[in-house]
A and B are shown apart, each in its own frame.
Chain A
Amino acid sequence: MVETVLETSGLTMRFGGVTASDNVNFKLKARELRCLIGPNGAGKSTFFKCVTGLLTPTEGHVYMRGQEVTGWQPHQIASLGVGIKTQTPNVMDALSVHENIWLAARRFYNVVEARERADSIIDRLALGAIARTQLGQLAHGERQRVELGIVAVADPWLVLLDEPAAGMSAQDVDRMTEIIHELTRFAAVVIVEHDMQFIRSIAQTVTVFHQGAVLMEDHVERVMSDPQVRAVYLGKKA
């Protein structure tokens, strides 16, 4: 019996008259890698924000490792040991790479250990050459990588990534894929993404969102060949 690390039941989010997330039931096992896909406005990001505490759902529940976390603040969820990366690069621009990652490690470890962990993750992500550079001066791909380091440095058991590959070069994407695979050795990973290429390269199970609800959930190859999914992606009503 593998532990369920993330579960939502009847998760619903309405903005005024718009239902952005509609009765989503979702389950994720430990060390599972799951991609959330769907066209723009399908409700992936709303779902993501409800799970990470950036939004409080209108209805429904969120559980992590069996504990109800509905309505928790992001910092409370993160404190459980959840690593979160938002859609746009969300980093401290005026601080150096090392400082950024150190701050993330310091939340869970003492000063000395935090430094050691930051150093080691910088090595693993091949950021050594720019460790003392301010984030504001780095290219987009490098910033994404630093943010991944921020997420990974504290050894999370659940990692939530919103479009980690957006705007990256092919080479960067390859490295990203590698890192994500490495993460799944210890953690469950949820990736919100609409780059099909990237999803094919890393995913096994994907969950397809459409109009706020889960359309289907299956292995990536079967999803890709599903006529309904194709129709949704092409904008036709299924």
Chain B
Amino acid sequence: MGRSASQDVMITLVVSAMLIWLLPLMISTYTLTVLVIYGMLGLSLGLIWGFGGILCFGQAAFFGLGAYTYAIAAINIGESTLPMILAVLVPAVFAALLGAMMFYGRLTDVYLGVITLVVTLILFKFVNSTAGPQYVIGNARLGGFNGIPGFQTLNVPGDPGAYIWGDPYFYVCAIALVIVFLLVTWLLRSSFGRIAVGIRENEVRMGLMGYDVAARKTVLFAIGAAIAGLAGALFANWGEIVTPNLFSLGQSAEIIIWCIVGGLGTRFGPIVGAAGLAYLKFMLGQQSMIDNTLVMGLILVLFVLFLPRGLVPAVASLLNSIFGRTKRKPRPRRMRRARHG
């Protein structure tokens, strides 16, 4: 809360402009695009978990739902603008319904985890068993395990022939991430965001103050799902194919790992965690000495044990202690992660 809103926006814009300019010089834009998309996906969970205290084991469900919605809509509609909008709306509505069911049922922590996990599994199993010709939505075959290839990819709005791909697509994704990031910043600075943090800290108290906790959590959950859905649609455009793997528990696990490693309760942490680990995975694919899963697992265990706040907060407090601007006592603050669900 130290900086004013306009400072925050300026810093974000300057830093992201630098990154968008510099990074393509080091990493190919095609790979960068997916890192940006994963960053957005990480941010979606970082928002609801880090600021809303909702630990969702099924963020991949919204990601997959966004991707599939886009693919199916794009096959049926052709022009990509409406499919993009649908890909944001469908996961948001789905999450609102699911969230309302959970939060008005006063389900918290582990139970919330089980439900989100189970819903993801159901979606995965359903999509995975739609190989038969009877599973058709409009002109789109769901395709089961093999997924849906060959849909219309992103085009300049209004001109279905003008595809946006390659380097321009990277810039579209990067700018989308910056916009989402700024929206999240604005949301967190607003009363809604501060109330969400209050709910994360103490749900009962916020209820006793007169806040409808279930409604607010439902809305936040839906916002997170909308961001994940947007990331899913961008991913579908990038990969030009959607498969049930998008819904898998492995995918959900990765999102959670990104958030832990990057740092919860920060906006930047999940993005850094997502992009960093996805790049690490990409690099590890080019060697065969050590198993990739092993590395990811070790990273998660070590972070939970030794750096439970994640990289970004740790680096920030390190910088603070070196270039300490204020004489405030270092606060041994440990966020009570998801204690209230």
Contact = CB atoms under 8 A, between A and B. Distances in A.
A102 B211 CA distance: 13
A106 interface: yes
Given A90-B204, A94-B336, A111-B191, A150 B209 contact: yes
Interface in A106-156: 106-108, 111, 134, 136-137, 150, 154
A118 B331 CA distance: 24
A75 B336 contact: no
A137 to B, nearest CB: 8
Contact of A75 (B194, B212, B333): B212
Interface in B198-215: 198, 201-202, 204-213
B330 to A, nearest CB: 12
B205 A91 contact: yes
A150 to B, nearest CB: 7
Given A75-B212, A106-B191, A95 B207 contact: no
Nearest to B328: A132
B295 interface: no
Chain B interface size, as a band, is: 20 to 34
A73 B210 CA distance: 9
A99 B191 CA distance: 11
Nearest to A160: B208
A104 B209 contact: yes
A78 B208 contact: yes
A166 interface: no
Contacts of B201: 92-95
B115 interface: no
Contacts of A39: none
A84 interface: yes
Contact of B335 (A90, A94, A102): A94
Contacts, number: 72
B205 A150 contact: yes
Given A92-B201, A95-B197, A95-B201, A103 B206 contact: yes
Contact of A78 (B197, B210, B335): B210
A71 B54 CA distance: 26
A34 B333 CA distance: 39
Interface string B185-201: 00000010011011001
Nearest to A90: B205
Contacts of B209: 75, 78, 103-104, 107, 150, 154
A10 interface: no
Contacts of A104: 209
A34 to B, nearest CB: 20
A19 interface: no
A90 B333 contact: no
A107 B210 contact: yes
A60 interface: no
A143 to B, nearest CB: 12
A58 interface: no
A94 B332 CA distance: 11
Contact of A136 (B191, B210, B333): B333
Contact of B210 (A79, A94, A99, A134): A79
Interface string B248-291: 00000000000000000000000000000000000000000000
Interface of B: 191, 194-195, 197-198, 201-202, 204-213, 331, 333, 335-336
Interface of A: 52, 54, 73-76, 78-79, 84-86, 90-95, 99-100, 102-104, 106-108, 111, 134, 136-137, 150, 154
10 contacts: A75-B212, A86-B208, A90-B204, A94-B333, A95-B198, A103-B195, A103-B209, A104-B209, A107-B210, A107-B211
